[in-house]
Structure 1
Amino acid sequence: MSIKNVHHVCIQTECYKESLEFYTKILGFEIVKETKNFHNREYNTWIKLGDFMIELQTNKLGDKLNNWNSLNAGIVHMCFMSCDVKEEYLRIKGMGYNNFKNKNGEDVYKVEDGYLFKVKAPEGTEIEIRDLQI
């Protein structure tokens, strides 16, 4: 097989500035390349965390995007590993970001032998942060 690894996922957003700030300031991605007026889009931007990249782009001019829904087929969330989930949760919350997915009254909860939490990006992408390798 010639496939080597995951290169990127593409996320469309109608709230570009807020999404870019979330991924760079909250999650620590760095901007690799930001292109204005890209194929009928206001922005197409490549951001990177380690070897993983996101292509963050605005909707095509005149198009209205559908809201994210956990009942959509396909990718439901992205997951990032953390050495200390509770510390990472407190770091994000301490930055004033509060759009967490609550489960049974808890933002951080135990799953199998580890912990995780889910935070929603401004455009609606669900991000899971966990500490247990599968």
Structure 2
Amino acid sequence: MTKSYVHHLCIQTNSYIETLRFYTEGLGFKLVHESPDFHGRSFNTWIQLGEFYIELQTGKHNEILGDGNTNNQGLAHFCLWVEDLNAEVTRLRELGTEFLLKNSEYIYHVENGSLCKVKAPEGTIVELRDNKGI
């Protein structure tokens, strides 16, 4: 195989404005391109963080998308590395971000460092880890 890397994930949402705000204002993604009325969808949008992209799209017109479930096969979460996990948790709490607590704690320790998990408006779980460990 030639040199390869992950380019993007595609996330679909029923709550486009809230989801776009979460990823841009909450997690620091940059809006790259927004296509309204894209092949039967209200929006198909590209957002970027470093070299990583998310293709954010609504369902087809008049389609209500079903909720994901962490007990399904497939993508369970994706992870972003952050320099200061404590500062990110404080900032995201101030924005009203939904956290997935473990033992009533926002940040918990695992073998290779510390992490927290947040839930995007459309249901995607995003893990935030510090730059320590693996």
In the superposition, the TM-score normalised over structure 2's length comes to 0.94
Following the alignment from structure 2 to structure 1, what is the Cα–Cα distance between the partners of residues 38 and 49? 23
Following superposition, the deviation at residue 66 of structure 1 comes to: 1.2
Aligned amino acid, residue 32 of structure 2 = V
1:117 and 2:116 aligned: yes
Aligned amino acid, residue 109 of structure 2 = K
1:98 and 2:97 aligned: yes
Q: Report sequence identity in percent.
A: 49
1:60/1:3 CA distance change after superposition, 3 Å: farther
Runs of 4+ residues deviating >3 angstroms: none
Q: 1:34-59: per-residue Cα shift (whole Å, max 9, x none)?
A: 00010100000000000000000001
Out of 1-10 and 119-128, give the one that drifted further: 1-10
Match of residue 14 from structure 2? 14
Match of residue 51 from structure 1? 51
Match of residue 73 from structure 1? 73
Aligned amino acid, residue 9 of structure 1 = L
Match of residue 41 from structure 1? 41
1:28 and 2:28 aligned: yes
Following the alignment from structure 1 to structure 2, what is the Cα–Cα distance between the partners of residues 130 and 26? 15
Following superposition, the deviation at residue 113 of structure 1 comes to: 4.1
Following superposition, the deviation at residue 98 of structure 1 comes to: 3.4
Q: Which runs of 5+ in 2 are unaligned?
A: none
RMSD: 1.1
Following the alignment from structure 1 to structure 2, what is the Cα–Cα distance between the partners of residues 91 and 100? 12
Following superposition, the deviation at residue 133 of structure 1 comes to: 4.2
Q: 1:62-98: per-residue Cα shift (whole Å, max 9, x none)?
A: 222111211111000010001121111111112x323
Q: 1:12-41: per-residue Cα shift (whole Å, max 9, x none)?
A: 000000000000001011111000010100
Following superposition, the deviation at residue 114 of structure 1 comes to: 1.2
Aligned amino acid, residue 96 of structure 2 = Y
- Aligned length, in residue pairs: 133
1:90/1:112 CA distance change after superposition, 3 Å: same
